[in-house]
């Protein structure tokens, strides 16, 4: 099937607009441009689809239909009766036209079995009415993959600086909507589950003390906090720049969101990524992370988050997103223990691994294998198209930890499947809080 690049679609739209304007149809260059965009969007495979695409763009009055049908039939298929193709009984037929207005006879068509007979072939005349007609055999234009679609599927690892800037603008439209939770306060509702006695009694004073109308209230809902922890170590450097744009969009969305990065230490970037200038926010974030493109210590970073922020309420009931490839240089057992602590605090844990999009991927890295039993979702974020799967995983409200645990314990020996001990583990023992970071009343984030 031929692609759109085989013909000059802007030139074809311009000449078609000129022919229509010469026939009395008030067309403009803007309409010709809109027709080219509409053809690329609709991707017509039949002449009827192309007819309705052109008619919806160029025709603005019922009186313009005869002229439009005559020009369309003369340009795209001289032998085609307009009413035969679109089934319009009110369209003028070519047999009733004067000899001077009748389009030239077509050349011999190819056999039905040959390529281009009924597949998408047509005759197009690009000459003006006063010039010599030159027939050009073309196909119905089909839209190829646009530049935006190509960038959506391209891996972040293969982006150049200019494409990365375009990805930033496209990622700004990505909405990260965390699921909602029930708040403590209540609001008025027509069909609430709770009876508002105060408002009911106050309204009964208008009816002599008889409560004729029952006022009700329901629980308010608020979006859950979104916490993003991004790995900016050397192995994640090709993806870290694009992920920083994601963190910037989440913080600037106005929803409760927190952003962290780590390599050998944990750095909070929520305030650095704030503001209306994304470029300045990225520069502040890069300057705030001194360990950019260094080693990977996932376990120590998660432990620092749990001790300093998680226990103070930041991770409680939140949707936690970890963006890392899971390559741990330290002890992977620490990753498992800290993920277990997070699993008891967070509402959902989503692990974004850009390596998961590769064929034959297996979570065999030490940190990834230790963290997987405590995750609710494992998704790939290697491209912009894959980031929409991340957004869907964030908006979901189900838990898949049992499935990951079952996959992790599959094939385990009976000795490994023993009951947990009643003694406290290392992760359950009290951890001394650093000075100045004790529990506070009210707002729990610094």
| Spans of all domains in the chain | 4-139, 180-222, 224-408
pLDDT, residue 267, reads: 93
Give which of 228, 227, 289 is closest to 263, Cα–Cα: 289
Q: What is the mean pLDDT of residues 12-27?
A: 85
Across 42-46, 156-160, 182-186, 306-310, least confident range? 42-46
| Mean pLDDT, all residues of the chain | 75
Q: Find, among 433, 391, 223, the residue nearest to 317 by Cα.
A: 223
> 175 vs 19, 116, 246, 250, 352, CA distance in Å?
45, 44, 10, 8, 17
pLDDT at 226: 94
The HSE-up count of residue 101 (CA atoms within 13 Å, CB side) is 16
Measured at the CA of 52, the angle between CA 51 and CA 54, to 5 degrees, comes to: 65
Bridge partner list, 124? 136
CA dihedral 375, 377, 378, 384 (to 10 degrees): -140
* CATH architecture for residues 224-408: 3-Layer(aba) Sandwich (3.40)
Residues 222 and 254: beta-carbon distance below 8 Å: no
Q: Which pLDDT does position 182 carry in this prediction?
A: 85
Averaged pLDDT, 391-407: 70
Question: How much is the pTM?
Answer: 0.57
Integer Cα distance of 232 and 295 in angstroms: 9
* pLDDT at residue 86 greater than cutoff 70: no
Q: What percent of the chain has pLDDT over 90?
A: 20
Residue 285 has pLDDT above 50, yes or no: yes
Q: How confident is the model at residue 60 (pLDDT cuts 50, 70, 90)?
A: confident
Q: Out of 46-55, 107-116, 218-227, 400-409, which region has the weakest mean confidence (pLDDT)?
A: 107-116
Looking at per-residue confidence, does 398 or 414 come out higher? 398
Residues of the chain above pLDDT 70, percent: 72
The per-residue pLDDT for 88 is 46
Calculate mean pLDDT across residues 125-152. Answer: 52
Does residue 295 contact residue 266 with C-beta atoms inside 8 Å? no
Instruction: Write b or e for each residue in 394-428: b if 16 or more Cβ atoms lie within 10 A of its Cβ, otherwise e.
Output: beeeeebbeebeeebeeeeeeeeeeeeeeeeeebe
What is the per-residue pLDDT for 419?
A: 32
d(CA 238, CA 269): 19
Average pLDDT over residues 291-301: 89
235: confidence class by pLDDT, cuts 50, 70, 90: confident
pLDDT score recorded for residue 224:
92
Q: What is the mean pLDDT of residues 205-233?
A: 90
Look at residues 177, 168, 350 and name the one whose alpha carbon lies nearest to residue 273. Answer: 168
DSSP string covering 159-207, please? --HHHHHHHHHHHTT----PPEEEEEEEEEETT-SEE-HHHHHHHHGGG
Rounded Cα–Cα distance for residues 324 and 328 (Å) = 10
Per-position DSSP letters for 207-257, written without gaps between them: GTT---S--EEEEEEEEPPEEEEEE-SGGGHHHHHHHHHHHHHHHHTSSSE
Looking at residue 155, the DSSP 8-state letter turns out to be B
Mean pLDDT of 425-439: 47
Higher pLDDT, 312 or 147: 312
Is pLDDT above 50 for 109?
A: no
Which pLDDT belongs to residue 228?
A: 95
- Once rounded to an integer, what is the mean pLDDT over residues 281-287? 86
Tell me what pLDDT residue 77 has.
67
């Amino acid at each position: 099937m031929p692609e759109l690049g085989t013909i000059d679609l802007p030139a074809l739209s311009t000449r078609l607009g000129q022919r229509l304007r010469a026939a009395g149809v008030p067309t403009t260059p803007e309409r010709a441009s809109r027709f080219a965009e509409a053809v690329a969007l609709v991707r017509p495979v039949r002449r009827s689809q192309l007819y309705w695409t052109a008619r919806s763009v160029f025709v603005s009055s019922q009186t313009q239909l005869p002229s439009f049908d005559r020009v369309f039939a003369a340009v795209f298929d001289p032998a085609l009766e307009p009413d035969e193709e679109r089934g319009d009984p009110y369209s003028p037929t070519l047999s009733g036209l004067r000899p001077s207005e009748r389009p030239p006879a077509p050349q011999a068509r190819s056999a039905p079995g040959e390529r281009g007979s009924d597949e998408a072939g047509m005759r197009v005349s690009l000459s003006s009415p006063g010039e010599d007609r030159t027939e050009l055999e073309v196909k119905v234009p089909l839209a190829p993959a646009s530049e935006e679609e190509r960038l959506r599927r391209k891996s972040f690892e293969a982006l150049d600086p200019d494409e990365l800037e375009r990805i930033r603008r496209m990622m700004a439209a990505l909405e990260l909507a965390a699921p909602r939770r029930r708040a403590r306060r209540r609001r008025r509702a027509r069909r609430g589950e709770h009876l508002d006695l105060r408002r009911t009694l106050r309204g009964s004073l208008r009816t002599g003390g008889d409560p004729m109308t029952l006022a009700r209230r329901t629980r308010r809902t608020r979006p859950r906090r979104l916490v993003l922890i991004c790995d900016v170590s050397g192995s994640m450097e090709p993806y870290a720049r694009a992920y920083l744009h994601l963190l910037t969009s989440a913080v600037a969305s106005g929803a409760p969101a927190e952003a962290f990065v780590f390599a050998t230490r944990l750095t909070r970037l929520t305030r650095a990524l704030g503001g209306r200038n994304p470029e300045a926010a990225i520069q502040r974030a890069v300057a705030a992370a001194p360990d950019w493109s260094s080693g990977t210590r996932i376990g120590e970073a998660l432990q620092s988050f749990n001790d300093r922020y998680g226990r103070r309420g930041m991770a409680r009931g939140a949707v936690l997103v970890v963006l890392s490839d899971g390559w741990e240089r330290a002890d992977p057992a620490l990753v498992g223990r800290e993920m277990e602590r997070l699993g008891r605090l967070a509402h959902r844990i989503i692990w974004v691994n850009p390596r998961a999009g590769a064929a034959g991927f297996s979570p065999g890295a030490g940190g990834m294998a230790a963290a997987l039993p405590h995750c609710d979702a494992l998704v790939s974020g290697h491209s912009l198209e894959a980031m929409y799967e991340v957004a869907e995983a964030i908006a979901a409200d189900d838990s898949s930890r049992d499935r990951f645990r079952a996959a992790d314990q599959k094939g385990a020996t009976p000795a490994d499947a023993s009951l947990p001990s009643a003694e406290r583990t290392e992760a359950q023992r009290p951890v001394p809080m650093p000075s100045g970071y004790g529990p506070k009343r009210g707002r729990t984030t610094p």
